[in-house]
């Protein structure tokens, strides 16, 4: 494959210089190899395209304020994006921002066509089918969809640790709504961190990526998925050669967990692990200018109980040398909850070894917003969108004090009663002492309370029970 690509440059030079007779044989060989490369890329495209889908989503999404989540308010939107089939039983991976808050999701599945001579170059548009969200992960911006069709063409995930800068890659998807589009480029960087200490890293590529490519696969020369196209950096809004894809090894972990459990569990030991820079090392007088330092050890956390301290330099985790804070975090959250990790740290010139128990990390309380819509989940009297606390949702909120209630998924943009300070993630257990077990019951009880009468909610917020009192308006 590499030899085919190298000869392209030789061919271009030969044609430009109008090769003399003695170079004709070399020209013919270069043309033959170029033709072989072209045919290989055609075959690669035909093999990959049937597993790449177009996604159309309509619904509601949390209102954003810059780069930060808003106050839990929802806004209506229609979005188009891409996805890739990773399991023949109908499991599709895409970006969360493509389907977040969607009340209706449709997927266009390509129709396989033959390769008979004289076939039309205008391909069928594909079959549109409904899809549901199995689960999602906000940290990686990933979501898993399920369609009822089975026996579908699918793609394998590559080992993104083997991806190298300069490697040839292909972006598949539906940029700007143009379905079945493929672009070619190289890997510009293999571990791009867009913000300091960001837990997420990306493969950077100059393969043209535009709005609508989100959720589509970044493919290597073997036809395997090395990443999921997620975002671009652009001043014009179009492709400027700065595209970013979530690495396949991160994708694999998220996809498998969501497919199995419906959500992603991540471990924590209760520290803030930061990457050591030369400036930080000089300012704190650290013994080394690279690696990981503990910027914080949370009170009463497993790390504090194990004796870790602020300023400890992490030398290794389970025998693996720690080079940066992101590497440390990823290795922790991949560890099963309840297991222990072995740390070796440097403290004042001495080496300290300790074992720490891994707990499940608390997740984003706004993760429930994708499960609701104002048409079905609105509670007008409270100005919220709620969802009943079932077994699946309870598993997403470890340590709940009760197993029945209504979870606040988001605040309604049409809130009638704006003074009720409910927050996404709150769980309502009772109203004026009457237990609440279902969403329709919550609406009914609120509807029976007269204007001006007192209302007392019992709710749980971040593991703490409390009463919230107000007068009905």
Residues in a beta bridge with 59? 77, 102
Cα–Cα distance measured from residue 111 to residue 245, given in angstroms and rounded to the nearest whole number: 26
- Cα gap 320→329, rounded to integer Å: 13
Sign of CA dihedral 81, 86, 92, 93: negative
CA distances from 421 to 183, 261, 413, 430, 444 (A): 49, 31, 14, 16, 20
Task: Yes or no: say if 325 and 233 are a contact pair by the CB < 8 Å rule.
Answer: no
Q: Name the token pair of 235.
A: 């001043």
Q: Is 390 a catalytic residue?
A: no
Spot the catalytic one: 82, 97, 137, 206: 97
Closest-CA residue to 313 (of 298, 299, 323): 323
- First vs last C-alpha separation in the chain: 72
> What is the C-alpha separation between 142 and 93, in angstroms, rounded?
7
For this structure, is 214 an active site residue? Answer: yes
Rounded to 5 degrees, φ, ψ at 47 are -75, -35
Q: Which of 141, 312, 363, 426 is catalytic?
A: 141
- How far is it, in rounded angstroms, from Cα 254 to Cα 365? 18
Residues in the chain: 473
Task: Kindly name the residue from 160, 174, 188, 214 that is annotated as catalytic.
Answer: 214
- Sign, CA dihedral 35-40-43-49, equals negative
The yes-or-no answer on residue 188 being catalytic is no
Q: Which residues are catalytic?
A: 97, 141, 214
């Amino acid at each position: 494959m590499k030899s085919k690509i190298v000869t392209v440059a030789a061919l271009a030079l030969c044609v430009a210089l109008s090769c003399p007779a003695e170079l004709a044989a070399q020209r013919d060989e270069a043309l033959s190899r170029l033709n072989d490369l072209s045919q290989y890329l055609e075959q690669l495209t035909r093999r990959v395209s049937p597993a790449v889908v177009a996604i159309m989503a309509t619904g509601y999404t949390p209102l954003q304020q810059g780069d930060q989540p808003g106050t839990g308010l929802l806004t209506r939107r229609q979005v188009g994006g891409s996805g890739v089939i990773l399991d023949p039983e109908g499991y599709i991976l895409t970006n969360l921002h493509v389907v977040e808050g969607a009340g209706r999701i449709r997927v266009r599945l390509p129709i396989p066509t033959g390769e008979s001579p004289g076939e039309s170059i205008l391909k069928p548009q594909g079959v549109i089918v409904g899809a549901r969200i199995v689960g999602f992960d906000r940290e990686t911006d990933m979501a898993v969809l399920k369609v009822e069709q089975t026996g579908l063409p699918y793609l394998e995930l590559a080992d993104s640790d083997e991806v190298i800068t300069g490697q040839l890659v292909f972006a598949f998807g539906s940029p700007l709504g143009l379905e079945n589009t493929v672009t070619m480029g190289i890997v510009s960087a293999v571990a791009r961190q867009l913000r300091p200490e960001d837990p997420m890293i990306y493969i950077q590529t100059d393969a043209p990526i535009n709005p609508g490519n989100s959720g589509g696969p970044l493919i290597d020369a073997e036809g395997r998925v090395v990443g999921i196209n997620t975002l671009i950096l652009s001043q014009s809004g179009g492709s400027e050669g700065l595209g970013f894809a979530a690495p396949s090894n991160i994708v694999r972990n998220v996809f498998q967990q969501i497919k199995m459990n419906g959500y992603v569990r991540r471990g924590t030991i209760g520290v803030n692990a930061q990457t050591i820079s030369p400036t930080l090392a000089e300012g704190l007088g650290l013994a080394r200018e690279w690696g990981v330092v503990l910027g914080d050890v949370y009170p009463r956390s497993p790390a504090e109980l194990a004796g870790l301290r602020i300023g400890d330099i992490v030398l290794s985790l389970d025998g693996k040398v720690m080079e940066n804070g992101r590497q440390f975090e990823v290795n922790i959250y991949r560890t099963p909850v309840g297991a222990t990790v072995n740390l070796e740290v440097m403290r004042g010139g001495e080496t300290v070894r300790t074992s720490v128990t891994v707990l499940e990390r608390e997740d984003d309380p706004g993760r429930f917003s994708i499960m609701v819509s104002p048409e079905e989940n609105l509670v007008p009297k409270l100005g919220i969108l709620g969802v009943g606390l079932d077994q699946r949702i309870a598993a997403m909120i470890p340590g709940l004090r009760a197993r029945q209630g209504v979870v606040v998924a988001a605040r309604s943009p049409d809130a009638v009663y704006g003074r009720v300070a409910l927050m996404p993630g709150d769980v309502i257990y009772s109203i004026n002492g009457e237990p609440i077990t279902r969403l329709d019951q919550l609406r009914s009880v609120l509807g029976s309370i007269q204007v001006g009468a007192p209302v007392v909610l019992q709710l749980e917020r971040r593991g703490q029970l409390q009463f919230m009192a107000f007068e009905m308006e």
